[in-house]
Amino acid sequence: MPIGTHPGHENEETGLKSSFERVRATSLALAEGLSDADATVQSMEDASPAKWHLAHVTWFFERFVLCEHLPGYSPFDERYDYLFNSYYDAVGDRHPRPRRGLLTRPALDDVLAYRAHVDRAMGSLLSGGASDALSRLVILGLHHEQQHQELFLTDILHLFAQSPLKPAFRAPEPRLMKGAAAPLAWTRFDGGLVEIGHTGGEFAFDCEGPRHKVWLEPFEIANRAVTNEEWMEFIADGGYERSDHWLSDGWAMCLAEGWNAPLYWRKEDGEWSTMTLRGWQPVDPQAPVCHVSQYEADAYASWAGARLPSEAEWETAAAGTGARLEGNDAGTGRLSPAPQAGKGLIGLFGDVWEWTQSAYSPYPGFEAEEGAIGEYNGKFMSGQYVLRGGACSTPAGHIRTTYRNFFHPGKRWQFSGLRLARNA
């Protein structure tokens, strides 16, 4: 099964129920082959165990949908309300995030039974039809689950990378979509007064709106993402050894963490290799560089005589080219970035999330919803940077031109890379 299917935007009973079943089945498919130990361990504070991801998305439907909209619903286990709440302060206390890996109980089989219990109840609820308000809530839950499907992949990769055995999440296979990346080229945009943000209609997260006007000076943006081969040139030129291209905070983190290459890279006998979801493999020089922080991306851009695009520039470029919302996402089954070839702006969607120079902040006129659901995005609008475009780990159908992903600038375990921009 492809990793990720479109939740749909149906308001009809059968369409919404079918979308629910497809997304939930995808999460179960991700867990196939994992032992209880695989699903329990937490590799770092930023990551969560696979078992916790499976339970938390189930808790979302139980807490916000079933308990509120299905008369007579009986929770699977009252204690799970504490164990699997993530950050919803309005709901109540929760188990500390850094200690999720200590939850040896419930076991993986118990979590799967929890999912089955909630899925049966959701089936009963959706078989009776859904109001517009209920439909919107369920669709939000499905997109929320797709976010956790992506986090499931990034977190399990980080976990498996800690093992000396370097186990593969999925069996190693011949690399798909081999070939050479397109030569670096630039596309010019005149800028001026542009509009960005979600236009309404189909689903979007609240942080993607309201649509608003932004002034842009003329700019150019690269036709593709920066490749591993280009990043190797940055390394060879002392990119990690001198401070002149780094932001102060980034250089301090580079020294403190001992960075000398992207996360998961190791050099042996003069050749670079890396940990992937299909195990330990040679670095493909033509594929987009991956697992770099915003600090590293900014330093590389400075070294290359360019800069990172703003999110308004990125969105304007993506919308202006009429690029299709398709690419090397998780639905291809590759599970790693692929060389980007072709004409025009390519690889905008899929392969790697592309760092921007834009702080994750509210758009003009943004208002969070009232209640616990309103805690979804707005509370994180501080100290983080925006990424655009999706990655090889993003579920199929989950990405939009207006989608705003966000992480702290020092984070590297996501499938994050960069595309260069410069003033025209």
Task: Output the pLDDT for position 91.
Answer: 83
Whether pLDDT at 176 is above 60: no
Do residues 109 and 226 both lie within one domain?
Answer: no
Do residues 79 and 147 both lie within one domain?
Answer: yes
Task: Output the pLDDT for position 175.
Answer: 56
Residue 98 exposed, middle or buried by CB count within 10 Å (0-12, 13-18, 19+): exposed
CB atoms within 10 A of CB 342: 11
Please count the structural domains in the chain. Answer: 2
Whether pLDDT at 5 is above 60: no
Q: Is 157 inside a domain boundary?
A: yes
Q: What is the pLDDT of residues 342-384, one digit of tens each?
A: 999 999 999 999 999 999 999 999 998 887 787 777 788 999 9
Average pLDDT, the chain: 93
Residue 308 exposed, middle or buried by CB count within 10 Å (0-12, 13-18, 19+): buried
Q: What is the pLDDT of residues 45-71, one digit of tens each?
A: 999 999 999 999 999 999 999 999 999
Do residues 225 and 278 both lie within one domain?
Answer: yes
Do residues 84 and 233 both lie within one domain?
Answer: no
Q: What is the pLDDT of residues 109-132, one digit of tens each?
A: 999 999 999 999 999 999 988 899
Do residues 98 and 191 both lie within one domain?
Answer: no
Do residues 288 and 191 both lie within one domain?
Answer: yes
Q: In terms of residue numbers, what domain contains 251?
A: 186-423
Q: How large is the average pLDDT for residues 164-191?
A: 87
Do residues 156 and 252 both lie within one domain?
Answer: no
Q: What is the pLDDT of residues 213-235, one digit of tens each?
A: 999 999 999 999 999 999 999 99
Task: Output the pLDDT for position 9.
Answer: 44
Question: For position 384, which CATH number holds?
Answer: 3.90.1580.10
Do residues 111 and 75 both lie within one domain?
Answer: yes
Q: Is 121 inside a domain boundary?
A: yes
Residue 313 exposed, middle or buried by CB count within 10 Å (0-12, 13-18, 19+): buried
Q: What is the pLDDT of residues 260-293, one digit of tens each?
A: 999 999 999 999 999 999 999 999 999 999 999 9
Q: Is 155 inside a domain boundary?
A: yes
Q: How large is the average pLDDT for residues 376-399?
A: 93
Given CA atoms 313, 316, 320, 323 in this order, what sign does their dihedral have?
Answer: positive
Percentage, residues of the chain above pLDDT 90:
86
- Name which of 279, 257, 283 is nearest 268 in CA terms: 283
Q: Is 243 inside a domain boundary?
A: yes
Q: Is 259 inside a domain boundary?
A: yes
Do residues 291 and 395 both lie within one domain?
Answer: yes
Do residues 251 and 129 both lie within one domain?
Answer: no
Do residues 88 and 139 both lie within one domain?
Answer: yes
- Joined together, the tokens standing for residue 403 give 């989608």
